[in-house]
Structure 1
Amino acid sequence: MGKKRLFLINGPNLNMLGKREPDTYGNKSLEDVVTLVEQVAADQGYEVTSFQSNHEGDLVDWIQRAEEGAEGIIINPAAYTHTSIALRDAISAISKPVVEIHISNVHERESFRHTSMLAPVCSGQVVGFGIDGYRLATLGMIQKIESEGRNHS
């Protein structure tokens, strides 16, 4: 049997990590984030498929692919967190668990960033731990998948 797979989905402007607002998002690149998630997942027997897009519809397509292609999704929807009914509906339409991740503490930032349209349909949310939040999200996702598997045996 092959390894279990996670999808790591990153939204708009995250391709600019390490260059864009380093005081808020740090100096690590998206490639560094992907490598971190791949290492954490591999240690737990999982593989990762990573995708980044600045386009909402492409993100919806990847969420939908998870129904057949992944055990769960770790997603940083970036600015779409606060605006995207389409992403919310896509997450609601699949049976796989989804963890929402944000590098910064969105609740400490501008008021328009305080509300996530996605959090109510996600299994969990990790915010404010910098790039290390991706490690926490990965471990949390795997714990959720593994514990649900035991509960349904």
Structure 2
Amino acid sequence: MSTLTKPNHIGRKISRIRELKDMKQEALAQALGTNQQAISAIENSETIDEEKLVEVAKALGVSVEAIKNFSEENMINYFNTFADNAFSNSQGTNFGNSNACTFNPLDKLLEAFEENKKLYERLLQAEKEKNEYLENSLKGK
């Protein structure tokens, strides 16, 4: 048992969740309004008071229960469910969910081109009006 981590070591769970979220101790410290050394102390603690745990959970974007119930095995099972769903759709293909386009991408491209053309024409007309106004104001002086 000496080489295995204790299953209820809350600090290690916090550390692992933070790592899975690709967050550094400094970032968590900043979110909690403390310093990196305090986060290191929390992650080395086997227990943590409930109030601090609520703050840490909020900063990590998870629930308190998620921290308390965290285990590597649960994480592996959780991610395996995504893999199972991605490879078992109703059509029997192994390429994830089949999403059919409900529009023609070329039509959308042409619509965008036409919209840009209209905007350019409006901009050009505004520039012509501005030049005309400036010329008239110079003639008036």
- TMscore range, shorter length: under 0.3
State TM-score, norm by structure 1.
0.25
Tell me which protein shows more helix as a share of its residues.
Answer: 2
State TM-score, norm by structure 2.
0.27
Larger radius of gyration: 2
Relative contact order higher in (CA < 8 Å, ≥ 6 apart): 1
